[in-house]
Amino acid sequence: MTMTDREIQLRPWSRRDDGEMQYKLWLAATSHLPRAWRSSLVNVEHQLVQAKEFPFCRIYAEDQSNQLVGYIGSHPPFDWKAELHGPPYENLGWAIPFGFPWTWPRNTNLAERLYREQENRIPEIYSAFRRDIYIQRFRESWSEQLDFLRQHGWVQISRAPLLGKSLFNAEAPPTNVVPATRGDFEKIGDFVTDENVNYVSLTAQAALRLYDQGWINGEYAWRYADRGIFVLDPRGRYVGVTYCFGTAGEWDNVVNAAMTQAAQLGGEEVYFTVTEKEQEKHSRLSQLGFREVDAGIYMARRAD
């Protein structure tokens, strides 16, 4: 361990501004990674609610000036059921989402230290729970992060293709594409009639919960007149489509509206994640000229 590493202190969640500092570090540490999700401060703060009960579910690394230079996190175990979670769509037992040791500036020694600290702490943090498996997801193109996990005994358990399309020469969005409001998601049932293109359908209750918890980022949600609604996830030249619902016969038109809106945000590529349960979506996107550009890789390791 270098002198610099010795000067870095590890601590649990403890301050109200931890979420903001964590989010800033995430954006910096992943800025070079293709198709990294944007997340949001609202979502980070939502996930930190559990830290009041389990402070060591987040481990922060600070230098001598109290500057955050790394973090890692976990979430309480839950019973992973095939019909409720996934991918992968199988019963995994009691699963613990086990985060990656993000550092900025990049520091491989600190990453290893954070990983080992969380690995050692988890049995104590979640001693009241059954613990069967650790889970995590990345992009297939993130070779450095995947290699790190494999070196620590993780294996791939599922793969979900990302279908993308170039946004060069994209047209301007239709004039009737407008920012979606929370009220629009309260009426999500008006749009979830898309002939089973999406495996996941949303009730109004579920949509509002996702909206309030930041899983649906209201800043990047749009309604296409009465034809549909979509949510984007822009990071640099890449724009993910996280939700896309259309009324009967309109899903393809909503996809095109999402593409033009993504181009307006400065995106050069738009992409969808397509799970094994969404063969109809895969077929429809392929007909619209989408091709596989990456994949979501789901990694796991038996919990100790």
The better pLDDT of the pair 148, 188 is held by: 148
Residue type (1 letter), 130: R
Task: Name the least confident of 79-83, 126-130, 135-139.
Answer: 79-83
Closest CA to 87 of 153, 156, 18, 152: 156
Give pLDDT, residue 196: 65
Give pLDDT, residue 3: 42
Q: What is the pLDDT confidence band of residue 194, given thresholds at 50, 70 and 90?
A: low
Give pLDDT, residue 189: 84
Calpha distance 265→185 (Å, rounded): 22
Judge contact between 18 and 97, C-beta under 8 A: no
Give pLDDT, residue 36: 98
pTM of this prediction? 0.94
User: Is pLDDT above 90 for 215?
Assistant: yes
> pLDDT for 40-70, tens place per residue?
999 999 999 999 999 999 999 999 999 999 9
For the chain, what is the mean pLDDT? 93
- Mean pLDDT over residues 83-93, rounded? 91
Give pLDDT, residue 83: 84
> pLDDT for 250-273, tens place per residue?
999 999 999 999 999 999 999 999
Q: Is 20 helix (H, G, I), strand (E, B) or coil?
A: helix
Judge contact between 202 and 160, C-beta under 8 A: no
Judge contact between 189 and 269, C-beta under 8 A: no
- Mean pLDDT over residues 74-95, rounded? 94
Domain residue limits, the chain: 3-159, 168-267
Judge contact between 23 and 44, C-beta under 8 A: yes
User: Is pLDDT above 70 for 187?
Assistant: yes
Give pLDDT, residue 155: 98
Class of domain 3-159: alpha beta
Calpha distance 175→260 (Å, rounded): 11
> pLDDT for 154-177, tens place per residue?
999 999 999 999 998 877 777 899
Give pLDDT, residue 4: 62
- Mean pLDDT over residues 234-252, rounded? 94
Calpha distance 26→71 (Å, rounded): 9
